[in-house]
Amino acid sequence: MTSYKLNNKNLSKFTDKVLIPEYDRSTIKTGIVHVGIGGFHRSHEAYYTDQLLHDPANSDWGICGIALLDFDTKIYNTLKEQDGLYTLIVKELDGSLTKRVIGSIVEYLFAPENPIQVIEKMASDDVKIITLTITEGGYNYNEATGAFDFTNPLIQHDFENPQAPKTIFGYLTQALKLRKERGLAGCTIQSCDNIQGNGHMTERMLLSYVNKAEPDLVPWIKSNVSFPNGMVDRITPATSEKDITLLKETSGVDDAWPVVCEPFKQWIIEDNFTSGRPAWETVGAQFVEDVVPYEKMKLSLLNAGHSVLGILGALMGYETIDESVHNEAIRTFLNTYMDKEVTPTLGDLEGVDLKKYKQSLLQRFGNIYIKDQIDRICSESSAKIPIFILPTVNVQLEKNGSIDYAAFVIAAWAIYSIGVDEKGNALNIKDAHGTLLKEKALVAKENPASFLDLESVFGKLKDSKKFVDAYSIAYQNILKYGVEKCVTQMNNK
Ligand code: CS2
């Protein structure tokens, strides 16, 4: 099939093959600046916003996508070449594909190339909301102290180079300072990352930074900027070459970086927007007063479930999450973890049928068309585990509840961090703290509990004898018998 490069000029050529934006993109104004234009933003917020823009009443809510890091060069260049357009390929449960070109990213900027332009855009009066997907690690939070990590060299850089920052904290501070100096209104800063109380966390971390960098700005931020919490959900694996080729061959769309995702999507947001907001509820988002219980449910069941399947599956030599969840022993283990260790920590969730929610997760994890990479799930585990798994452990320890399943997963992660799976193949570990993890993991071979000394991940967990004992037994057993046998034995208890 003849294919054409995806861009504004060629858009009408694709109408009979894929869905395209049915609004005039040239009339859309930027009302949202979004930082972090990876796959998840493009399958989630940008998708909801694209749907919204089909109503001409919403034309003030286009998105300016910011690539913050050098690492983002490729996605920035792709969006620039494609006029901000990309294809969202939804892999339905029956294996069919729904392909839609998304038009909501109407501007894009590359921060390392032009930091001032980014600061000015964030400070623009038309921009009412700055949304973030900067990953769990991006909040610069130290698990051991609960505080902002001032020792991070990038933070030091931002203190010394306020006009050419490298972190989100440097950018937001300068942009808010400009808003204040120019007598402009404040704005909303909305995190879309998987963090418990992500709005509270953003506020706390930003104020810690500002308190040192621009102390006079703190009261203005407190009165003029809001930080709604939000729960975001849509499984979005990394795009493969196969996805790119298939799109080109079956639809004639030559898109250098389409996004693939599952059909399910959910966005629950606290209605706390200081300068107005889009009516995202008209396209499926939910606005509630308190989102924290829903966040907790999602992080400790879905995201933790992913980590369980990822870490155990990686050691067994699996490559994708569906392979892992279709292993009966692992599936039963995960079910028991969710029922016995997570559920008792969740409390009352109005309007949620937890049993159904857990069942639906297993179905989503099992979608054989998604092929969600275990490498993706296990990446940055040192930032994920403290958010996804340890809050459950801490509550269970307080309640004197079961922690054996969580301890087993942490022990498996310590063994995973050595870097070799049970078949002797090297694991592809991507973690900002990868070198330190490996060092600790090698020492742990002789002294398993020493892995828990990593306070920046585990906090004071090593002080719990109950946890250390369960972890140490699991560690020895996994090394001796392998994950599958141990899991089967636990399932039979
Ligand atoms: C995953 C998430 O990164 C991870 O470990 O659990 O990316 C997950 O796929 C999304 O949060 C789904 O909403």
Which ipTM score applies to this complex? 0.99
Q: Is 308 in the pocket of ligand 1 (CB under 6 A)?
A: no
* Distance from C-alpha of 45 to C-alpha of 63, rounded to nearest angstrom: 10
Q: Is 377 in the pocket of ligand 1 (CB under 6 A)?
A: yes
Atom of ligand 1 nearest to the CA of 384: 5
Chain mean pLDDT for the chain: 97
Give distance in angstroms: CA of 237 to centre of ligand 1.
Answer: 9
Q: For position 365, what pLDDT does the model report?
A: 97
Q: What is the mean pLDDT of residues 413-440?
A: 97
Ligand 1 binding pocket mutation candidate from 41, 43, 235, 320 (most atoms within 8 A of CB): 235
Summarised one tens digit per residue, pLDDT across range 20-43 is: 999 999 999 999 999 999 999 999
Give distance in angstroms: CA of 260 to centre of ligand 1.
Answer: 13
Q: Which two tokens stand for residue 465?
A: 């004898």
Q: What is the mean pLDDT of residues 69-82?
A: 96
Q: Which of 162-166, 293-297, 323-327, 371-375 has the lowest mean pLDDT?
A: 293-297
Of the chain, the percentage scoring pLDDT greater than 90 comes to 95
Instruction: Kindly indicate the confidence band of residue 154, based on its pLDDT and cuts at 50, 70 and 90.
Output: very high
Give distance in angstroms: CA of 376 to centre of ligand 1.
Answer: 9
Instruction: Kindly indicate the confidence band of residue 349, based on its pLDDT and cuts at 50, 70 and 90.
Output: confident
Q: Is 41 in the pocket of ligand 1 (CB under 6 A)?
A: no
Give distance in angstroms: CA of 377 to centre of ligand 1.
Answer: 7
Q: Is 384 in the pocket of ligand 1 (CB under 6 A)?
A: yes
Kindly tell me if the per-residue pLDDT of 428 is higher than 90: yes
Phi-psi map region of 400: left, alpha, beta (phi>0 left; psi -120 to 50 alpha)? left
Q: What is the mean pLDDT of residues 464-483?
A: 98
Ligand 1 binding pocket mutation candidate from 41, 196, 300, 303 (most atoms within 8 A of CB): 303
Summarised one tens digit per residue, pLDDT across range 432-467 is: 999 999 999 999 999 999 999 999 899 999 999 999
3 state SS of 421: coil
Give distance in angstroms: CA of 16 to centre of ligand 1.
Answer: 33
- What is the four-CA torsion angle of 231, 124, 8, 134, rounded to 10 degrees? -30
Q: Is 235 in the pocket of ligand 1 (CB under 6 A)?
A: yes
Instruction: Kindly indicate the confidence band of residue 396, based on its pLDDT and cuts at 50, 70 and 90.
Output: very high
Instruction: Kindly indicate the confidence band of residue 316, based on its pLDDT and cuts at 50, 70 and 90.
Output: very high
* Distance from C-alpha of 271 to C-alpha of 237, rounded to nearest angstrom: 29
- Report which residue type is found at 171: Y
Summarised one tens digit per residue, pLDDT across range 257-281 is: 999 999 999 999 999 999 999 999 9
Q: For position 111, what pLDDT does the model report?
A: 98
Nearest to 237 by CA among 136, 372, 92: 372
* Distance from C-alpha of 419 to C-alpha of 247, rounded to nearest angstrom: 35
Q: For position 157, what pLDDT does the model report?
A: 98
Instruction: Kindly indicate the confidence band of residue 239, based on its pLDDT and cuts at 50, 70 and 90.
Output: very high
Kindly tell me if the per-residue pLDDT of 144 is higher than 90: no
Which residue has a Cα nearest atom 4 of ligand 1?
A: 377
Kindly tell me if the per-residue pLDDT of 143 is higher than 80: no
Which residue has a Cα nearest atom 11 of ligand 1?
A: 233
Atom of ligand 1 nearest to the CA of 266: 13
Q: For position 493, what pLDDT does the model report?
A: 82
Give distance in angstroms: CA of 11 to centre of ligand 1.
Answer: 31
Q: Note the pTM of the prediction, 2 decimals.
A: 0.96
Q: Is 394 in the pocket of ligand 1 (CB under 6 A)?
A: no
